[in-house]
Structure 1
Amino acid sequence: MTEQDTFYVLYRFKVTPGREEAFKEGWCRMTEAIREQRGGLGSRLHYSKDGWWMAYAKWPNRKAWESSQRLSESPDSEAAELMAQSIQERLPPIPLVPEIDLIDRRSEIGG
């Protein structure tokens, strides 16, 4: 896998007040299950002051993400349920192809 092949997907959610911890737990569990079972490369979850939760997930390529999307069974049904019970609103995912990546990776590996 080269960095040029890397593919990202942006997700956006409104979470029911009081359900934030359940949502975060579900998100972490689902990310791990996707990594272990479907080849995902992890995700980052962010909160915005306007009340939206935003996340982007990294995949080795678009084909791997699309293949995962076609599977009907969840890689972690309990995590999926935690998230479903927590999400008030969900916007469609936005596929992203990186053009320029200026994030300092040294900070990610403790260097």
Structure 2
Amino acid sequence: MIAVLFRWEIKPGCEQPFKEGWSEIIHRNIEKYGALGSRLHKTKDNHWLSYSQWISEEHFINAQNLKDKHEEARVKMINAISKAYDPIVMVPMLDHLMATELSHPHLLP
């Protein structure tokens, strides 16, 4: 398993289209390309970061630059980005991340 960290700066007023495009691409990657899920974060200094997990680096590479029915979502994201940073591919060494309550509905009060 690998994890990939992405970082972007988003144009003012383009946050919603970016989130919509990001969500569609993530679901595509989960359904077709071996992604194990992702989280999107926003920092206090207005950077957007996405942390995703993949079965392997090969699965991650295969999901890149593919022209498919989700190209519109990719364009939506690209048009919202003012600056994109190179993704960082990471191999987990230790894992103490807990599942969220939403992924375990039986834990909700």
Is 1:19 the equivalent of 2:9?
Answer: no
How far does residue 67 in structure 1 lie from its aligned partner after superposition?
A: 2.5
How far does residue 75 in structure 1 lie from its aligned partner after superposition?
A: 5.7
Is 1:88 the equivalent of 2:82?
Answer: yes
Q: Identify unmatched segments of 5+ residues in structure 1.
A: 1-5
Is 1:67 the equivalent of 2:48?
Answer: no
Answer whether contact 1:40 1:58 (CA < 8 A) is retained: yes
Determine the C-alpha separation between the residues in 2 that align with 1:17 and 1:105: 32
For the aligned residues, what is the CA RMSD? 1.6
Runs of 4+ in 1 over 4 A off after TM superposition: none
Partner of 1:44: 39
Determine the C-alpha separation between the residues in 2 that align with 1:72 and 1:20: 24
Distance 1:103 1:37, change over 3 A: same
Determine the C-alpha separation between the residues in 2 that align with 1:75 and 1:96: 29
Determine the C-alpha separation between the residues in 1 that align with 2:72 and 2:33: 17
Distance 1:106 1:30, change over 3 A: closer
Q: How many residues align?
A: 105
